Structure 1
Amino acid sequence: MKRHESLAPISRQHHGGLLTARLLQLNAPPYKGMPTTTEGKRAYVLQFLEEHLRPHFKLEEETVFKTAKAAAPHLGEQAEALEAEHRQLEQLILALPAAMEATLPAQLDETGRLLEKHIRTEERIFFEMLQEELPEATLQLLKEQVEQHLL
């Protein structure tokens, strides 16, 4: 399904998240211009958290999730589960500086797999539900909120 214009900016941000998720996973192929060592990947994801993930999480939580919670209980439950995954991802990434060399690859892999699962759930399930169930007027209000947030 084509992404509604209210959700399109968020979906575009997901591309970088999916690339990062794949980069962190064990046996990831090399990506041009991306780190290949576990140390490099750790540094990359810590910077990605600050520059991209936290602002992205804030955008989703203050716009999409808030709208979903106000719209219907089942959408609110889905939003709360996704918000809990935001916190879990932050905790996993913030634990990486203390990771031992022997366990770092597995911790990066766990983080990458959860990030990929999280984004796929948002895109394939949650956003589809929102587009199908929210009235156009609500989606237009959401579009305005997302645009304001991105200014």
Structure 2
Amino acid sequence: MPQLPDAGYVPTDDEIASVHAWFAEYDAAAARRDIERMADLAVFPLNLVSDNAAGQGASAQWDRQQFVATMTQVMGEGAEDITFESVRTPVFLSPAMVIVFTDSTMTAGGETQRLRYADVLIRREGQWAFQTMLQGGWGDNLS
């Protein structure tokens, strides 16, 4: 793992573990296609940053209803298992803010897709919640 310069907040091992535990819960909900549980782990309005098919940057804010509708459409309601293998690099800005860079392999219905994305999580009332999703290829869904 790359060593970052001493430029600010240094998280404890427990703080790092809490972020990884949050993602384990989120990934488990995604694997079950439990979109409502995924939404429970977010802060709305949720910020989204992406690009579209034309290669242009795109951003939007979604409320819970739009998140659930879009994720249901994107993830489908199929019976096949979804699995994730992810390597995550959390970069803490403070004890209550972290940007997490993820390199992931998602397998669904026998097809594998490699993903790279980042999420901004904030800590509220002792719990992490994601507030911003950054990932290429979603721009045409951001309306």
Q: Please, what TM-score do these two structures have when normalized by structure 1? A: 0.25
Higher helix share: 1
With normalisation by structure 2, the TM-score equals 0.26
Bigger share in strand: 2
Larger RCO of the pair (alpha carbons < 8 Å, separation 6+)? 1
